[in-house]
Amino acid sequence: MTHWTDALRQNWGIAADLTRLDGEYDLNFMAEAANGQGYVLKVMRPGCEAGLVDMQIKALEYIAAEAPGLPFPKVYPALDGDALPMITDEDGQPRLVWLLDRLPGRCYAKAAPKSQELILKLGRVLGATGRALEGFRHEGLSREFKWDLTQAGWISDRLDVVTDPVRRGLLEDVAESFAAIRDRLDRLPKQAIHNDANDYNILVEGELSDRRSISGLIDLGDMCAAPRICDLAIAGAYVVLDHPKPEQALAALVRGYHAANRLRAEEVDLIWPLLRMRLAVSVVNSTLMAAENPDDPYITISQAPAWRFLENDTVNGGLMPARLRAACHLPVTDGAERIHTYLNNHRGEFAALFGTDLSDAPMGSLSVENSTWPQDPFHMPLDEAARVGEEFGEGYWLGYYNEPRLIYAEPGFRKGPWKASDRRAVHLAVDVFAPAGSTLYAPLSGRVEAVENRDAHLDYGGVVILHHETPEGDPFYTLYGHLDPECCTRLKPGDPVAQGAAFARLGDATQNGGWAPHVHFQLALTTMGMEADWPGVGDPDEMDLWHAVCPNPAALLNLADDKVFYHPTDKMHVLAGRQAHFGANLSLTYDDPVMLVRGWRHHLFDEWGRPYLDAYNNVPHVGHAHPRIQAVAADQLTRMNSNTRYLHPAQTAFAEKILSKLPDHLQVCFFVNSGTEANELALRLARAHTGARGMVTPDHGYHGNTTGAIDISAYKFNAPGGVGQSDWVELVEVADDYRGTFRRDDPNRAQKFADLVDAAIARLQDKSHGVAGFIAETFPSVGGQIIPPKGYLPAVYEKIRAAGGVCIADEVQTGLGRLGEHYFGFEHQDALPDIVVLGKPIGNGHPLGVLVTTRAIADSFARGPEFFSTFGGSTLSCRIGKEVLDIIDDEGLQDNARLMGTRLIEGLRQIGADFACVGDVRGMGLFVGVELINPDGSEGAEICKYVKNRMRDHRILIGSEGPKDNILKIRPPLTIEAEDVDMILWALRDVLSEVGDYAPAPVCDHEHHHHGCGCC
């Protein structure tokens, strides 16, 4: 090593420490100078061809001059000006040596997740590189080279090395597709290309939530002269490998490339066959190498991802040209523009589909936002399907194109194994609802392409596809679904159909897949990759593709495009309205906020019909949109809704139900509108009963948003800009035995935490406030989902009562069965509070708070003025509250919380064992916290933020909490099921694996500024 350290100093004048890097033939060193500047010193193998190194050096210099912003390393010539001096090694062998910049970042192979945004950036870098290299010339570029894709045909002569006949057959197919594009490839101009943008030659910068970027494209050793599209196809071959969404990943890469270096459609069409050919070259090459090196298992292992991809038949290759053209906003087929012109020019002249003018037919929306079909977005029952849209009447009405709908509810529409997996939801056709038996007339002439009876439940029933042509001969297709299958007996492929000819009838629900009678009328510019099996709805995240392949068919119905084109509410518009009309401290969750418009049990849907697993919201305790809550609310609103100044049996029924769940000494209920209001009232009651003013409460607690409630909420009054602590409030350390003063290894920690109350009581007495009471969330939630050690609360209560105070249990988060083992949190503690506060879940979304107390305390309060809350205890509220409590019992939700909570917590503990950043998993039932930590054990707030946002990308809503916001909060509705718990565990494992060995940059200590830290 010292030899090369010396060589670097003598030839470049740079003093640096060297570390050896991996390299098969050459000696590569990482060099770090005293000032932190990094280099890579490349010592080429003896006998290395100087021309090829010269090519790389010249190319790097050329790029630096043409496109200085591109992330390529800089070449440092030696002191004598020679960029590639010959230096003798320790064995006296002459070696070519060159020096490069060390670029920041980690290799793309290890950069997870491989997001579309990152891949798009990679495409841009590659496209810009292609442009920069356009004029570069070097004699090394044209050589015989097995990695030159234009020469890839060599594999056909070596396929015999692949012994598995199925695999060999697959490679033969790939080679055949390659042979089929040879002519087109040969016609493309050649230029210098990088030719090896594999995932070890790409560097990525940016940690966790930082915006990541491509910080390096290295190793130009495989450069050659070839059509630029080969460069893109090669990068694509690595981008798709083991990517969970390979088609979308490839589309993002191509879109990025096109943005930097405009492609022509005929080039884009070659990407897919070239990509597959590159993988074929790769597996054939490594199979040959394996034969030569039978003892090196790595050669075979390294082939696995390529084989996995080549053998993966879920990727639709036929659709790929359309997908990639659409990604570039290029015409989806060569005739696309002519077809659009033709359809536009003849709008109004096509034969009427039902023999009647539809321009005044009303639109009926079945969108996620407007419609509630079906009630359960995961199941469309027969009777609902047959009645879909009945609210729009018996006559003709039209269903929208581009409309996201929840009626496509069955698992077949899902794109993954979970209920919250992405699903196809956006309608790619126009529907015409009309009476069963109505005759369909061909809008224009054509011939039958396909005719079928697809009789599965919720399929098309009878379906006909017609083939048409523009006068220039460009083919396009129309599809008519939900027909009377009698058409199958009359029509056969190839039959001509004249414009205006009656060719089919609308089916009824027994014939058309089970739907209310209508035709699904869809247009397609190509059937490649779809043939007779067109998707009638698309993934909302793939609309670029589907708008291009299956455009709005309005012209063929003689309608304006706008009439039938659906626009979901624009989330950004709502966001702008919020910013304009609301205060800036009304915060929104997620870097990219979600807009939610429908819910069902523990799932939610956004305006595009994307499903989310709600693992965060505790208010919809018995589930979103519960039919019994809907029914009871509608029923009561149909009758009357008034206040507690009048008698109503619902008031006492609700009170009796609550009291049946509570210890006997709690006898009196107060109904208010929120948890805040109940806590505010609790303060008044405590003071009325004791005549004292002072309150003791644990640090980081939260009890509500009003002046009084904030005064007892350290989480708010101590927050930046908070009102600060009132002198009648004394804080005690929260009984957190993971991070607090007394830890789990201390058997007396409960008593020790409780003893901290003594000093607080003494201080209140010193200030002559006296002790009105103690208030605590039974299990501190905003404090970080903390379960105090058993015995803590009774010990505290004893001290408070001895000082004359009352004990208030805020059960807003913990009550009503969430804990599984217990209906209320204080039961876990064997504590008996004097006042219990309930909120959030008790109304399942209806604003409702309840305070329950003893007769004695209620009597003390009753000696004051009248108590009245206009809406608290309204007839409606009482009926809803009672219904929620009944549902918890009837559906066994407390028990479900116990079972699912155990499954979740056990699964989380297993994950915790595998990831160092999981410091603690704690919880009871469906009240769960996962504390994330940095390698030094400190609070992993950055990690937590990242995980929360990434879980949302996986369509799972969870929260973050704790004084340092590093605790994941998982708190779903009590309806959650085992498969949903498993989804959370699967996704969390995936996301945590992306966190890797992240460690936050040390916070700058300004005293050490002169040590040269980067952050000052």
Ligand X SMILES: Cc1ncc(COP(=O)(O)O)c(C=O)c1O
Question: Contact positions toward ligand X, by CB under 6 A?
Answer: 674-676, 679, 702-705, 777, 781, 810, 812-813, 839-840
List Cβ<8 Å contacts ≥24 apart for 414-418. 415/539, 418/613, 418/979, 418/980, 418/983
3-state secondary structure of 498: coil
Residue labelled with tokens 């700058």? 1004
Comparing CA positions, the residue from 491, 477, 483, 437 lying closest to residue 460 is 483
Q: Which is nearer to ligand X, 428 or 878 (CB)?
A: 878
- Compute the least distance from the CB of residue 692 to ligand X, in Å: 22
Nearer to ligand X, 553 or 780 (CB): 780
Nearer to ligand X, 651 or 673 (CB): 673
Q: How far is the CB of 483 from ligand X (least distance, A)?
A: 54
| Phi, psi at 531, each rounded to 5° | 50, -120
Between 62 and 702, CB nearer to ligand X: 702
Q: Please report how close the Cβ of residue 943 comes to ligand X at its closest, in angstroms.
A: 24
Query: Least distance from C-beta 849 to ligand X, angstroms?
Result: 6
Nearer to ligand X, 201 or 617 (CB): 617
Instruction: Write down the least CB distance from residue 441 to ligand X, Å.
Output: 60
**Backbone dihedral angles phi then psi of residue 432, each to the nearest 5 degrees:** -120, 115
Give yes or no for a contact between 433 and 389, defined as CB atoms under 8 angstroms apart: yes
What token pair was written down for 409?
Answer: 């509810």
Residue closer to ligand X by CB (options 52, 775) is 775
Cβ proximity to ligand X: between 140 and 923 the closer is 923
In the complex with ligand X, the residue whose CB is nearer, 536 or 701, is 701
Measured distance CA(613)–CA(951) in Å, rounded: 10
Nearer to ligand X among residue 271 and residue 712 (C-beta): 712
First to last CA, the chain: 35
776 or 995: CB nearest ligand X: 776
In the bound complex, which residue of the shown chain has the CB atom lying closest to ligand X? 675
List Cβ neighbours of 352 (8 Å cut-off, separation of 6 or more): 358, 441, 443, 558
Distance CA 28, CA 265 (A): 41
> Of the two residues 140 and 963, which places its CB atom closer to ligand X in the complex?
963
User: What SS3 class is residue 775?
Assistant: strand
Nearest distance from C-beta of residue 699 to ligand X, angstroms: 14
Residue 448: strand pairing partners: 466
- Which residue, 56 or 814, has its beta carbon nearer to ligand X? 814
Shortest Cβ 619–ligand X spacing (Å): 8
Shortest gap between Cβ of 680 and ligand X (angstroms)? 9
In sequence order, the β-bridge partners of residue 524 are 477
Longest dimension (CA), the chain: 105
Could you give the residue ranges of the DSSP H alpha helices within 845-1003? 855-862, 875-890, 893-914, 941-953, 978-995
The backbone torsions φ and ψ at residue 852, rounded to the nearest 5 degrees and listed phi first, read: -125, 135
What is the spatial distance between Cα 713 and Cα 704, in angstroms, rounded to a whole number?
Answer: 7
The kind and range of the H/E element at 358 are: none
Closest distance to ligand X from the beta carbon of 843 (Å): 9
Q: How far is CA 430 from the centre of its chain?
A: 30
Give the distance, in angstroms, between the CA of residue 111 and the centroid of all CA atoms in the same chain. Answer: 17
Q: Which is nearer to ligand X, 702 or 742 (CB)?
A: 702
> CA quadruple 141, 147, 148, 151: dihedral positive or negative?
positive
Dihedral sign from CA coordinates of 750, 676, 657, 634: negative
Q: How many residues does the chain have?
A: 1016
Q: What is the CA radius of gyration of the chain?
A: 35
Q: Which two tokens stand for residue 604?
A: 């939610």
Q: Closest approach of Cβ 703 to ligand X, in Å?
A: 5
**Would you say 365 and 403 are in contact if contact means Cβ atoms under 8 Å apart?**
yes
Q: Least separation, in Å, of the C-beta of 676 and ligand X?
A: 3
Torsional sign, CA 939, 945, 946, 948: positive
Considering the complex, state which of residue 421 and residue 726 has its C-beta at the smaller distance from ligand X. Answer: 726
Closest approach, Cβ 839 to ligand X, in A, equals 4
Can you tell me the distance from the alpha carbon of 269 to that of 276, in angstroms, rounded to the nearest whole number?
Answer: 13
Q: What's the min distance (Å) between Cβ of 785 and ligand X?
A: 11
Q: Region of 925 please: left (phi>0), alpha (psi -120 to 50) or beta.
A: left
CB of 846 to ligand X, least distance (A): 11
Among residues 623 and 783, whose Cβ is nearest to ligand X? Answer: 783
Least gap, CB of 711 to ligand X (angstroms): 13
Q: Which is nearer to ligand X, 286 or 676 (CB)?
A: 676
Q: Quote the tokens at residue 781.
A: 């939630």
Which residues have CB under 8 Å from 703's CB, separation 6+?
A: 675, 676, 679, 697, 709, 712, 713, 775, 777, 810, 837
CA distance 993 to 914: 9
Nearer to ligand X, 358 or 734 (CB): 734
Rounded Cα distance between 788 and 780, Å, is 8
- Supply the angle between the helices 165-186 and 304-311 in degrees, to the nearest 10: 80
Q: Classify 770 in phi/psi space as left (phi over 0), alpha (psi -120 to 50) or beta.
A: left
Q: Least distance to ligand X from the beta carbon of 853, Å?
A: 16
Q: Where is 514: in which H helix or E strand?
A: none
**Separation of alpha carbons 364 and 366, rounded Å:** 7
Output the smallest distance, CB 741 to ligand X, in A. Answer: 23
